[in-house]
Amino acid sequence: MAGRSNGHTNLRRRGISSWLIPAMVLGLGLWAPITVTWAQRPLPRLTLDTEPLPPELKERTSLAPVVKKAAPSVVTIYTTRTVRGTDWAHPFLDDPWFRRFFGDRFRRERLPREFQARGLGSGVIVSEDGYILTNFHVVEQADEIRVRLADGKTEYQAEVIGADPHTDVAVLKIPGRGLPAMVIADSDQLEVGDLVLALGNPFGVGQTVTMGIVSAVGRGELGLTDYEDFIQTDAPINVGNSGGALVDVRGRLVGINTAIVSGGGGSVGVGFAVPINMARLVMERLLTEGRIRRGYLGIYLRRLTPELSRELDLPDTSGALVGGVAPGTPAEAAGLREGDLVLEFNGRTVRDARHLRLMASQSQPGTEATLKVWRNGQVRTVRLTLGELPDSEAVAESVPPPETGPWEDLEWAPLDPQTRREREIPDYIQGVLVLRVPARSPAAQAGLRPGDVLLQVNGRRVRTPEEAQRALEEAAGPEVRLRVWRREGNRSGTQVLVVPTQPRTR
């Protein structure tokens, strides 16, 4: 029995051993080099052509020469600003239910909070001695501005020479000589379909070039700035591209990239650039006069619809319809009347009311202007001397305020120190507090809430309740864009609400 038992045990051991050996071999096979299990294959025969493209062909088929010409002029702008606000030591200690049971024994006073907010944008060197064009919103409220050249190494401290928030243009200056300045084109010559490149530093990844076409010119009523004449492009523009260059196929500057329309923060092919002609005019006036002086007619303008054109027996819907004349203004002195249709301004065809206001604002106060006006079936010539538009009336050439409208019964409050403390609104947020929004009003349906801070109306900044009410009443168009700041829990930020000012037809 013992022998059988030992024999059986040996067989089992031999069986186990015989099973283990192949397994170990298999394991070795798994860990052996590839050459053991795979036969080498011959390399495929490849057709190689390592010669560079001939220069004449490359000029016709590649945009590399254009990029090489333009890229050195595009810089990255880094900004730093000090943000001051208030915060609780712990938000739970200010919870109403907590205080109901424990009172204020665990509650500590608000602690001052200060931190450095950093921003990123782009800019374009336009002169060899260091003048740079960028967007106003890139350098707004910055305590420190650093400019890094395209080589990725050279940095300068930059000085803000001047800025115009009404067009979102700013002029910087860095020390230096012989800097790579970009050649400036005439943006009025751009046409829909022209090929363009956008250069900048999106998301801080480094200088990037994207390509597209001019989708539209003279784009306005976007609510981005007070004076809009944007170039629209489908060249991808992203965060960090603001202030960068829009160039033509000869590497010449045609626009300053400014904004995008996007549902998720990235490019969806709808980008906007300030035409270089407008940006250059702003720069020249800031350098020569230290401020922007704008021409002023003194008229209210109405939106000219096909229905209104037929009602007034006008030739078509182009031109700017005078809805009223302000007393004591150049328009009154020249004899302009309500119902006049302005067809030309200084020999240039007037597309619409926004276009006339833009052309008048770009003219120097004190200069003469010649208008072609349609009145009672005849074209008349009206000459006048432009006045100067006060800064507080930056959008005064607009539709006169209606007796009632979507803004009726809205209530506002200034952002005084106590309000800021109670609602935890940082000092850098400048606007007015929304106190009351009537239920079922257009503003409420668009998402405006009590507690929001209204920052802009159609790109026009508001700082007091009076400014907010006036900006809303003077806003032209079938809809108005409101930029608001909102706090939701521990998160805060800005967003744009679109409020219809006229009933929508179906």
Whether 58 maps to a domain, the answer reads no
Instruction: Supply the pLDDT for residue 330.
Output: 93
8 A C-beta contact, residue 315 and residue 374: yes
Closest CA to 278 of 253, 252, 298: 253
Query: Is 382 within 8 Å of 388 (Cβ atoms)?
Result: no
Measured between alpha carbons, how far is residue 84 from residues 33, 81, 113, 454 in Å? 63, 10, 6, 20
Asked, for residue 241, whether it belongs to a domain, the answer is yes
Rounded CA gap, 59 and 219, in Å?
Answer: 32
Comparing C-alpha atoms, which of 73, 70, 128, 122 is closest to residue 248? 70
Q: Are residues 319 and 284 in the same domain?
A: no
222 touches 272 (CB < 8 A): yes
Catalytic residues: 137, 168, 242
Instruction: Copy the structure tokens of residue 315.
Output: 């030739």
Are residues 157 and 233 part of one domain?
A: no
* Predicted pLDDT at 267: 61
- The verdict on 206 and 256 lying in the same domain is yes
Query: pLDDT digit of tens for each residue in the chain (506 aa)?
Result: 444 444 443 433 344 333 333 333 334 344 444 444 556 788 788 877 778 878 777 667 788 989 999 999 999 999 998 766 544 444 444 444 444 444 554 444 444 556 677 888 999 999 999 999 999 999 988 899 999 999 999 999 999 999 999 899 999 999 988 999 999 999 999 999 999 999 998 888 888 899 999 999 988 877 777 888 899 999 888 778 899 999 999 999 999 999 876 555 556 678 899 999 999 999 999 999 988 999 999 888 887 778 778 877 787 778 988 888 888 899 999 999 988 999 999 999 998 888 999 999 999 999 999 999 998 888 999 999 999 987 634 333 443 433 345 677 788 888 888 788 878 888 778 899 998 887 667 888 788 888 899 999 988 889 888 888 888 888 877 788 898 988 876 677 778 888 887 543 32
Q: Is 135 annotated as a binding residue?
A: no
Domain boundary among 173, 195, 220: 173
The overall pTM is greater than 0.85: no
273 shares its domain with 238: yes
Same domain, 340 and 383: yes
For residue 40, being part of any structural domain is answered with no
Alpha-carbon gap, residue 135 to 118, rounded angstroms: 16
| 242 marked among binding-site residues | yes
What is the Cα 68 distance to its own chain's centre?
26
Give residue 428's pLDDT.
76
pLDDT at residue number 252: 94
Q: Rg of the Cα trace of the chain?
A: 33
- Which tokens belong to 198? 């956008």
Q: Is residue 347 one of the residues assigned to a domain?
A: yes
Same domain, yes or no: 239 and 337: no
Do 268 and 346 lie in a common domain? no
- Is residue 401 in a domain? no
Phi first, then psi, for residue 39 (nearest 5°) are -75, 145
Please indicate, yes or no, if residue 372 is contained in any of the structural domains. yes
CATH number for 451: 2.30.42.10
User: Do 316 and 231 sit in the same domain of this protein?
Assistant: no
240 is in an annotated binding site: yes
What is d(CA 415, CA 483) in angstroms, rounded to the nearest whole number? Answer: 16
Asked if 499 contacts 479 with a C-beta cutoff of 8 angstroms, the reply is: yes
Ligand-binding site membership of 137 (annotated):
yes
Query: Of 274, 289, 304, which residue sits at a domain end?
Result: 289
The rounded distance, in Å, linking the Cα atoms of 37 and 32 is 8
Q: How many domains does the chain have?
A: 4
Q: Is 376 annotated as a binding residue?
A: no
Q: What is the dihedral of CA 174, 176, 177, 183, to 10 degrees?
A: -30
pLDDT score, position 265: 52
DSSP-derived pairing of the beta strands 411-414 and 378-385: unpaired
Instruction: Quote the pLDDT of residue 121.
Output: 92
146 to each of 99, 157, 300, 413, how far by Cα in Å?
A: 47, 5, 43, 37
Assess if residue 11 is contained within a domain: no
Residue 261, CA atoms < 13 Å, CB-side half-sphere: 11
Kindly state whether residues 88 and 118 are assigned to the same domain.
yes
Residues 443 and 353 in one domain: no
Domain containing residue 488: 411-500
**Do 141 and 222 have their domain in common?**
no
pLDDT for 367: 94
72 & 133 share domain: yes
Domain termination residue (choose one: 173, 204, 236)? 173
What is the domain-level CATH number for residue 87?
2.40.10.10
